[in-house]
Structure 1
């Protein structure tokens, strides 16, 4: 039966899983990730929630109330920080959640709340919980302490929304208490508010309010590069956590040179773009000179 109701959508994924596969091998990495996802699933269920799906190193849950969702997220982070095996293997998760209307249909959930929660998860860093300020307004009872992270752009929404960092640590004596630990959308104070991309005479300008910018072989990308070594959706650039970040999603990796530094190979990972340099999709720049993308952050 199809039904729309208010609920908390929570996404959690294992931080640095690509590196885990490289260092531990496929079998051991899959075993460790499965242990983490099993632990998170049990916590979700203990708060009255339901696991919707697990995808690779990520879990998606629905939890009835805003308060129980926040409590579950905090318990998940504490589990990762206390479990001896997780600590020994340097395993950690990042969590994003949002409370709002979502459509239940055939065991899955859909709608704006799901999209917003997924965006919160993409903004979260290792050992961090990110949620929307509006989620806090739906809490009945004492909510965990939070810090403002400014505003974030969410696909489908006309204006950026207020987001917060949820403080899950029980001992916060060693933490900074400065509000807005990360300012995402303060263009008056944030350095690096514009990113310019140049490719074969074309200029693209991105700012802190821009939607994620896709590059690849497919015609739907913001920048299309038609080459056999370029994936259909090869890489994405977006502004998050106070910086422009490039995320590789390709088969053949993305090569980035910042200033005069050595070129870096980015594969299924992210890199903070700073100053100026070049981006090469699928091949190192020395063999891909005709398709170089030049960038400049100002």
Structure 2
């Protein structure tokens, strides 16, 4: 029997390393816990689990809205679980709405192949779907998406348009203009915070919009490392000083001068003086991706003479 359904594939990112570091029994327990959590979310959105294959789950939903909202809640459920975050576990999701063939409690057809292809394109903490699926929504404003180009799918003559579903709570900041001042612009009197990352220098003043740091290309400062979340941390000016807040799975590490580093997880700290910010890993093991900062008075140039 044929039917129009939304097919969702979700699989665990980081499971291979998990088996190496935690052993088979504990790794299987954690993977099973993730798959059970995904099954619970699926049921809440009116979906049905078709099968699990290793560390992957395949589900169906009656329509694209249920499937997309279900996928968003899957990501949020896993990202908010401290047990999973402790082992750097996350999920990647691909989905597509189309015609399917139901047979012996399994699902086949073009929509399944396309959804599986979307899942293969997704990175950890990402939801990839087809533009045609999003266009079927009657209230697309409930979701934030962005085009990520085209992809070829086996059996289709032409490539199809694909989109990224942006599910993190701080997505509203992605579309903001990052009001940053380049340090070489000669306007030191307006800079309160200097940032330096891999030779890239940026300054923020007290009127700056919230400034994002993360792996996503739309971030104000892009830090492209596997352990960095797409929307990892936020720097904003409030109550008279700059604050860095963590929005990630793996946490944010901050070190002030010679003090011990502080780990933030869904928390924030005031930036003062000079120091180092490390996304996702302790400073000691993350030497290639350190962000140096220097706070200064409004009328004094910041001293950002940290290693490039």
The TM-score normalised by the length of structure 1 is: 0.58
Shifted more, 13-22 versus 34-43: the winner is: 13-22
Contact map agreement 2:71 2:93 (CA 8 A) in 1 = yes
Query: How far 1:138 sits from its partner (Å)?
Result: 1.4
Q: Secondary structure at the match of 1:25?
A: helix
Alignment of 1:165-180 (within 5 A): 165-173=164-172, 175=174
Alignment of 1:119-138 (within 5 A): 119-138=117-136
Give per-residue Cα distances to partners, 1:52-85, cap 9 Å, x unaligned: 0000000000011100100000000001111121
Query: Quick one: distance in 2 between partners of 1:135 and 1:4?
Result: 18
Alignment of 1:171-210 (within 5 A): 171-173=170-172, 175=174
Give per-residue Cα distances to partners, 1:132-173, cap 9 Å, x unaligned: 000011112234110101000100000110000001112125
Structure 1 stretches of 4+ with a deviation exceeding 3 A read 173-178
Matching residue of 1:73: 71
Contact map agreement 2:99 2:110 (CA 8 A) in 1 = yes
Give per-residue Cα distances to partners, 1:4-55, cap 9 Å, x unaligned: 1111000000002111111111111000000000000010111111000000
Query: Quick one: distance in 1 between partners of 2:24 and 2:176?
Result: 40
Alignment of 1:1-298 (within 5 A): 3-142=1-140, 143-173=142-172, 175=174
Query: Quick one: distance in 1 between partners of 2:89 and 2:176?
Result: 26
Q: Secondary structure at the match of 2:170?
A: coil
Query: Quick one: distance in 2 between partners of 1:11 and 1:38?
Result: 14
Larger radius of gyration: 2
- Name structure 1 gaps, 5 residues minimum: 183-298
Query: Quick one: distance in 2 between partners of 1:158 and 1:94?
Result: 26
Would you say how many aligned residue pairs link Structure 1 and Structure 2?
178
- Name structure 2 gaps, 5 residues minimum: 178-215, 218-308
Query: Quick one: distance in 2 between partners of 1:16 and 1:53?
Result: 20
Give per-residue Cα distances to partners, 1:257-290, cap 9 Å, x unaligned: xxxxxxxxxxxxxxxxxxxxxxxxxxxxxxxxxx
